[in-house]
Chains A and B, each alone.
Chain A
C-alpha cells in the first residue's frame, strides 16, 4: 500500500502550549499560601509522518507513524505527551496548622514529544 500523507500545518504539530493554572480556579486559594498559580503548560498537536527530529519521537513512534500513514483507520498516530517535566515548590497550611514547604516533581511541562 502507498503511504497516505495528511497535510499538517506547523501550528498543529505536537508541542508544548502555554497553560497558566490559577489555584483560585480549582478552589485551592484558601490553603495554598504560595504560589497563587503557575505556568503548568500542556502538550497538544499531531505526530505526523515523517516524524522530524524536533518531535523527539522514539523508534517505536517513528514506525507507528509509518504504519499509520499506510493504515490511518487501523493504527492511530503516536501520542503527543510530555517528555520533560520540572518541579515546583508550594507553601501551604496543613490540617494541623503546620506550615509546610514542599517540592513537587513533574508539575511543569517543559518539552513534548511523540511517543
Chain B
C-alpha cells in the first residue's frame, strides 16, 4: 500500500520532468544498445568543474538553445539487396518517431547521424550516399522516384573504423511532428570503386567483399534532436 501511496506524487514529479510514467527498465533494452559517447561527454561536462559557468539551457556542442538532447532511434527496415531504382544499391528505410517530443518543446536541432559499419577486406573504398525524403507512400508498381525528394548526395570514403555522415534535418523533422506527415527517409548506398561482381555482397546469399562487422548493423542511423522546454528553462539561472 505504501508503494501505491507513493505512485501518485511520483506521477506528479515525473510529469514535471516531462515523463508520462516510469520508463521501461534499461535492462530490457535491445541487445547492442548503448549510450552514444557524445552524450556521455555532454553529461560529464555538465557535472564538471566549469559547469557553473555554462547555461543549462544551451547545448554548446551544437550551438543551439535546448535542455533536452535525444538520440532518437531509427525504426526503419533494411531493404537488403536490389533497390527498386538502382540495381547495385543497398537501400535502407529510415524512420524517426518525432512524436516522442512533447508539444510544448521547441525543436532547435535535428541532426541525422549515419554510421557505416564495414570492415574492409581489400583497399580503401568509397560509397556513394544518397538520402531522400519520402514525400508520400508509393503504390506497388508506381515510379519510386516520384514519391521522394533528394536531400543529400555525396561520396564517403570508408576507413578502417566506422565512418559517419551528419546531415541537418531540423526543418524536415519539425514537419514530422505533425500527425500523418512522417513518411521517413530512404538511404541508397552504391560502392563507387568496385567491379560489378564485387557489388554482389549487397545481394543476399553471395560472398562478401565488403564484410559487415558481425555484431553490428551495416548502417546505423540516429537522429540527434535538441529541444527546449520553455517551462523548464527560465532565464537568468545559473547551473550548479
A94-B23, A105-B56 are known contacts. Are A100 and B240 too (CB-CB below 8 A)?
no
Chain B residue nearest in CB terms to A27:
B22
Chain B residue nearest in CB terms to A92:
B23
Which residue from B29, B56, B67, B233 sits with its C-beta under 8 Å from A93? Answer: B29
Query: Which residues of chain A are near B68, meaning CB under 8 Å?
Result: 100-103
Task: Give Cα distance in the complex from A55 to B234, angstroms.
Answer: 25
Which candidate, A5-13, A31-39, A69-77, is the interface stretch facing chain B?
A31-39
Task: Give Cα distance in the complex from A81 to B117, angstroms.
Answer: 54
A31-B25, A91-B43 are known contacts. Are A100 and B232 too (CB-CB below 8 A)?
no
Interface size class on chain B is 35 or more
Query: Which residues of chain B are near A31, meaning CB under 8 Å?
Result: 22-26
Assess whether B232 is in contact with A104, with CB atoms less than 8 Å apart.
Answer: yes
| Interface size, chain A (Cβ < 8 Å) | 29
Chain A residue nearest in CB terms to B51:
A89
Query: Which residues of chain B are near A97, meaning CB under 8 Å?
Result: 24, 29-30, 33, 73
Assess whether A98 is in contact with B73, with CB atoms less than 8 Å apart.
Answer: yes
Query: Which residues of chain B are near A98, meaning CB under 8 Å?
Result: 70-73, 100
A34-B43, A87-B237, A110-B240 are known contacts. Are A99 and B23 too (CB-CB below 8 A)?
no
Which candidate, B34-42, B141-149, B188-196, B199-207, is the interface stretch facing chain A?
B34-42
Total A-B pairs, Cβ < 8 A: 100
Query: Which residues of chain B are near A96, meaning CB under 8 Å?
Result: 72-73, 97, 100
- Nearest-CB distance from B18 to chain A (Å)? 7
- Nearest-CB distance from B147 to chain A (Å)? 26
A26-B10, A108-B240 are known contacts. Are A99 and B56 too (CB-CB below 8 A)?
no
- Nearest-CB distance from A21 to chain B (Å)? 12
Which residue from A88, A95, A105, A108 sits with its C-beta under 8 Å from B23? Answer: A95
Task: Give Cα distance in the complex from A35 to B48, angstroms.
Answer: 13
Known: A96-B100, A101-B46, A101-B68. 9 other contacts (CB 8 A): A34-B43, A35-B47, A87-B239, A89-B42, A93-B26, A97-B24, A97-B30, A104-B67, A108-B240
